[in-house]
Structure 1
Amino acid sequence: MSTSASLSGLRLVVSAGPTYEDIDPVRFIGNRSSGKMGFAIAGAAARRGAQVVLVAGPVSLPTPADVQRVDVRSAAQMHEAVLAALPADAYIGAAAVADFAPAQAASSKIKKQAGQDSMTLTLVRTRDILADVADHPHRPRIVVGFAAETDHVEAYARGKLEKKRLDLIAANRVGMAGTGFESDDNALTVYAADGAVHALGPAAKTQLADALLDLIAQRLTE
């Protein structure tokens, strides 16, 4: 059991990793998310005594001890799995979910044609998992989002926090040396709906997971 604040008796749903949106049987739209942050959060929550459901995109990370893992591939599958895991005391959306997906995946490999210099791919919006959880009849007491941005980090994070009616959002700048998607380390700034701001890191993602859970545990016990 972690020496940090206990989460015993609480149920947490965590989403982690990327989503892959299929174009055809051999190609997809994806991103660089490794899933390490979400898996670290899930593992740390379980060590604190929480019942944890981890909805994982396509990553090869081992399942943390005492965590129920649900593997998905697409944004639509992740949306379904997260909502199916409710009710919960907290939802932590650490996954990097695709905002758009191909309107229709081809049933066989798309072949280039003679003289073809370009191809148009029609994309459609995916369901917004964070917004739908925050608006759900069984809304968790705490809904936490993540914002990985290349610029205007604070403005985009605060906008997402307000628009999606979140309780907390953990923001980081993509591209900082030694941190981010594929690294074991990160640096987060957590913005709260009540106006509080918490700077976490730079530190190992395992340490950041515990620091973030301290903030969540504090709000769950208020």
Structure 2
Amino acid sequence: MGFAVAAAAVARGADVLLVAGPVSLPTPAGLARIDVRSAAQMHEAVMATLPCDVYVGAAAVADYTPASISPAKIKKQPGQDGLVLQLVRTRDILADVASHASRPALVVGFAAETQDVDDYARAKLVAKNLDLIAANRVGVEGSGFESDANTLIVHDAQGATTLGPAAKTELAHGLLDLIEARLP
């Protein structure tokens, strides 16, 4: 979805920098791209882009990451039937952008949820001080991750607008229409 939004923004004349995690998608024409492998690298790359006019956080960044990373393969040990990993919270890129001293004029987040989509999206909109949040249910065949189609429920302080189901390229333009309507 992030790649579709980036391509649609370029088509509308925007200067776009796409910060992408480990994906095999080709870079849309007409934009700059920074590839990262970890949530920490993504946080650093995104924060380095500020100030900007609009930030769209479409990445599904992990909420937790291993506390330590092994430099080598962790081998099975005789008599060891399991392994306990300690996880720590990752830095919240979206919340950090929204609270930054150089906050963009518009901060748009995404909420990929498996249940209670609207409730979680509205809570995230308020908790992270966002202008818009595009929510979608994941785990639905033919929609969301690894699919060319999706359905978005875009929340703001006044209510919600449903976009789709439709191709992600079409949804991207619908989302950009909502973003452009809110720009000063």
Tell me which interval the TM-score lies in, with the shorter structure as reference length. Answer: over 0.9
Match among 88, 103, 108 for residue 124 of structure 1? 88
Offset at residue 174 of structure 1 (A): 1.1
What is the TM-score of this pair, normalised by structure 1? 0.82
The CA deviation string for residues 134-176 of structure 1, in whole angstroms up to 9 with x for no partner, is 0001100110010111111111000000000000000011122
Residue equivalent to 1:154: 118
Please, which runs of 5 or more residues in structure 2 have no aligned partner? none
Residue equivalent to 2:179: 216
Residue identity opposite 1:80 in structure 2: E
Residue equivalent to 1:48: 12
Offset at residue 196 of structure 1 (A): 2.8
Please, which runs of 5 or more residues in structure 1 have no aligned partner? 1-36
User: For residues 154 and 197 of structure 1, what CA distance do their matches in structure 2 show?
Assistant: 9
Offset at residue 72 of structure 1 (A): 0.3
User: For residues 183 and 46 of structure 1, what CA distance do their matches in structure 2 show?
Assistant: 22
Match among 72, 76, 82 for residue 40 of structure 2? 76
User: For residues 181 and 141 of structure 1, what CA distance do their matches in structure 2 show?
Assistant: 28
Residue 142 of structure 2 corresponds to residue 199 of structure 1: no
- Segments ≥4 residues shifted beyond 3 Å: none
Residue equivalent to 1:114: 78
Residue 35 of structure 2 corresponds to residue 59 of structure 1: no
Residue equivalent to 1:33: none
Offset at residue 177 of structure 1 (A): 2.6
Aligned pairs, number: 184
What is the TM-score of this pair, normalised by structure 2? 0.98
The CA deviation string for residues 170-209 of structure 1, in whole angstroms up to 9 with x for no partner, is 001112231010110000000012x131100000000000
Residue identity opposite 2:126 in structure 1: E
Match among 76, 83, 98 for residue 62 of structure 2? 98
User: For residues 183 and 165 of structure 1, what CA distance do their matches in structure 2 show?
Assistant: 29
Moved more, 37-46 or 168-177: 168-177
User: For residues 87 and 99 of structure 2, what CA distance do their matches in structure 1 show?
Assistant: 25
Residue equivalent to 1:181: 145
User: For residues 172 and 60 of structure 1, what CA distance do their matches in structure 2 show?
Assistant: 22
Residue equivalent to 2:2: 38
Q: Higher helix fraction: Structure 1 or Structure 2?
A: 2
The CA deviation string for residues 54-86 of structure 1, in whole angstroms up to 9 with x for no partner, is 000001111111111000010000000001011
User: For residues 153 and 55 of structure 1, what CA distance do their matches in structure 2 show?
Assistant: 25
Secondary structure of 2:25's partner? coil
Q: Percent identity?
A: 68
Residue equivalent to 1:20: none
The CA deviation string for residues 72-107 of structure 1, in whole angstroms up to 9 with x for no partner, is 010000000001011111100000001100001011
User: For residues 120 and 29 of structure 2, what CA distance do their matches in structure 1 show?
Assistant: 34
